[in-house]
Structure 1
Amino acid sequence: MTFTDWVEETRRQIRQDGWQGVQDSAYKFYVGTFRRLGGVWNFGTPIYEEDWDMLVVLDACRWDLMAEVAEEYDFVDDEWTYSVASSSAEWMEKNFRQTYATEMARTAHVTSNPYSEQKLDPQTFAYLEEVWKHTFDRDVRTIPARAVTDAAIRAGREQDHERLLVHYMQPHHPFVRKPLDKGIPRDEFSSTPWDNVWHKLRRGQLEYEEVWDGYLDNLRYVLDDVALLLENVDAERVLITADHGNLLGEYGLYAHPDYVPLKPLKRVPKCVTSATDEETHTPDTDAETATDTDEVSREEQLEHLGYK
C-alpha cells in the first residue's frame, strides 16, 4: 500500500467509522513500518533445511503456547526454532520454491489453509490435497481438525511418497470450543464483516486472559487430533512446528501481519517425535465424497479466518 492509498483509505474509514476509523488507520500505518523492515531483513529456517519424514504444521502456534501444554502430551516439548515467515501466504512463498523442487516432488502435502490455491502448484508435489476445498464447518467458521487428520491418514496409507506434510488450521482462530469472535454483521456503517478475536483484544473488548485461554484450548483441540495421527501413519522422524506465531500486544501489534520480522511472532515450536500406524482409526470418507452441508467459497473462508 502506498502512502496515497493509505490516505484515501483513512478518509474512507473516518467517514464510515468515525474515531474508530482513525485508530484503525493509524494502526495499519504502524504495522506498515514493520513490513518495510521485513522487506530488507529476514531470518528463519526453511522447512526443507530440517530433517523430517512427516512435518506437522500448526497454523499460528506460538512457541510459548505449545510449551504450556508440554506436560500434557508425550510428543510435545519446549524446543523452538524461527520460521521464515510471519504469515501463511509468506510462509508458502518462502518454503515452496524452485530451490526445493526435488524435495517437493517427493512430498505428499495435505493442507487446510485456503492460501494453497494461490501459492501452491499441485504439479510440484507428489500429491496435494486441499482439505478446505471439500470440508468447512460453517458453524465455527473453520476447517475441522478431524478432516485434516483423515486426509493425512489416507495420504500416509495410500500415496507413494517419501515425505508427508500435514498443515492443520488450528490453533489459528476461530476458536472451536471457546469462540470469542462471533463477530459483527456487515452493515451500512462499516466495511468490516466482523471483528475477530485479535481486533477485540486490541480494542480492549476482550481481556488478555480469556483470549489466551481460548487460544490454548484451540491448541489442545488440534493436538488431540495430532495424537490420533501419530498412531495411524508410519514416520520415523516427525517434526511438529508452525508456519508462524501470533502477536498478542508485543510492540503494540496483534495477530500475524505478513513480512513482520519480530522474534515473538516468528519463534515457533520444534517438537521431534515418531509415528507408527497402529490402525486405531479409519477415516470416515475419502476426498471425493467428503463434503460440507453448505458451499463456502475460498474468499469467504479467508474472511472467516480473519485474512480479509
Structure 2
Amino acid sequence: MYSLAQVKRGLSHPNLIIREFNRLYHTRLDSLRYNEAGFGLMEADWDFCHILDACRYDMFAEHSSLPGMLSKRVSRGSNTVEFLRGNFETGTYHDTVYVTANPQYRRYENQFDAEFHDVVDVWANDGWDDTYNTVLPETTTEYALEAADRYPHKRLLVHFIQPHYPFLVPDSTFDKTHLHDEGAETDDFWHRIFYGELDVDPSYVWSLYRKSLDEALPHVERLLTSVEGKHVVTADHGNMVGERAAPLPVREWGHPEGIYVPKLVEVPWLEYTNGERRRVTPTRPRQGTSVDDNAVRERLRTLGYRE
C-alpha cells in the first residue's frame, strides 16, 4: 500500500509513477527483495574486496588504469541498501572485517542477520571531511591499511564512498549546498533533477562523477600494491545520468532501488594478485561498538540518502 504522502508526491511528479511501474516490473510486483540475477559477493574468492560506491562498469572500464584483469558482473542491487540486503541479510563472516565509509550498513544492520569479525566505521568521528561533506578516499585507504595490519588473518571488505556524490570537485556547488535550500522538496540532488527542481546539463554532472572516480583510483591502487593478497575491485551498484530506463523509457537520475537496467546493476570486477595469498582464519567477533543513530541519519542525509 502507498501512503497518502506518496500518492500526493506521485501526482505532483508523474515521472515517479513511471519509475514505480518500472520498479514493479523489475521486482516482479515486489516479489523480489533484491536482484536475484546478481552474484554473491561473499562467496567469491578474494582476500581484499574494494567497493567503489555507485561506480558504473562502463565508466570504470574507460577510466581505470589499475593493474589486473577486468570483467563485468551483475550486482544484487541497484542501490546500496538493496546491495547490502542481497549480500548481508544472513551469513556468518568471522573471517572478514568490513571497513566502510558508507553509514548505510549501520542504518539497517538490525534488519540483517550477518556477523562480521569487526566493522570499522570510517565515516564516524575523524574520518569525516567537513569541506566536502563526505569521506575522502585517502582516509578510507588509511583506515584499510591500518585494518590490514591489525587483522593479518582476515579478509578485508573496503567500501569507498566515491564516486558517489558529494563530488570531489571544489567548485561544484549544486551537490554541496542542497542541504541549505529550504525550498527543496528533497535533500537528494538526483531527485531534485528528476523532479525538475534543478536544471543541470548531464554532461556537466557526468564530468563531476568521472572526476570523483579519478580522484579515488590512485588510493585504491595504493591498497592493491601495498598489501599482499588477492584483490578485487568492484561496485555495489551503478548510476544513471539522464539515460532512459526500461521498460518505460523515462529519463533516470541517480540509483533508485529495484530497477535492474544495465547502467544500474552492471559493475566492474577487477582481479589482481599481489604476492602471496592471505592465510585467512575465522575467529570470534570483536566486541561491537555502538554508533549514534542520529549521527548515522545526519551523515546519510548529507550524502543525499532519503529515508
TM-score (norm 1): 0.79
Q: Distance in 2 between matches of 1:206 and 1:186?
A: 16
Match of 2:21 among 33, 46, 55: 33
Paired with 1:219 and 1:66, the residues of 2 have a C-alpha distance of 8
With over 3 angstroms needed to count, the CA separation of the structure-2 counterparts of 1:300 and 1:76, relative to structure 1, is farther
Report how far residue 79 of structure 1 moved.
Answer: 2.0
Shift in Å, 1:234: 2.0
Partner amino acid, structure 1, of 2:262: K
**Distance of 1:190 and 1:120 partners within structure 2:** 30
Structure with more of its chain in strand, by fraction: 2
Q: Provide the secondary structure at the position in 2 that maps to 1:161.
A: coil
CA contact (8 A) 1:62 1:268 kept: yes
Q: Does 1:208 align with 2:202?
A: yes
% same residue = 28
1:257 is aligned to 2:256: yes
Equivalent positions of 1:7-46 (< 5 A) are 7-9=7-9, 22=12, 25-37=13-25, 38=27, 39-40=30-31, 42=35, 43-46=37-40
Supply the AA of the counterpart residue of 2:128. Answer: F
1:245–1:265 Cα contact (<8 Å) kept:
yes
Render the CA deviation track for 1:212-239: whole Å, top value 9, x for unaligned. 111111001111110111232221x211
Which of 104, 107, 119 is equivalent to 1:128? 119
1:281 is aligned to none
Q: 1:68 to 1:49 in 2, by over 3 A?
A: same
Aligned to 1:108: 97
Amino acid in structure 1 at the alignment position of 2:20: G
Q: 2:190–2:253: 8 Å Cα contact kept in structure 1?
A: no
What displacement does 1:177 show?
Answer: 2.2
Partner of 2:298: 300
Q: In the aligned structure 1, how far is the partner of 2:117 from the partner of 2:176? A: 38
Alignment correspondent of 2:45: 51
Counterpart-to-counterpart distance in 2, 1:305 and 1:9: 22
SS of equivalent residue, structure 1 residue 221: helix
How far does residue 49 in structure 1 lie from its aligned partner after superposition? Answer: 2.9
Q: How far apart are residue 82 of structure 1 and its match?
A: 0.3
Q: Distance in 2 between matches of 1:76 and 1:183?
A: 38
Q: Secondary structure at the match of 2:162?
A: strand
Aligned runs of 1:165-176 on 2, under 5 Å? 165-176=157-168
**Equivalent in the alignment of 1:286:** none
- Count of residues in Structure 1 that have an aligned counterpart in Structure 2: 270
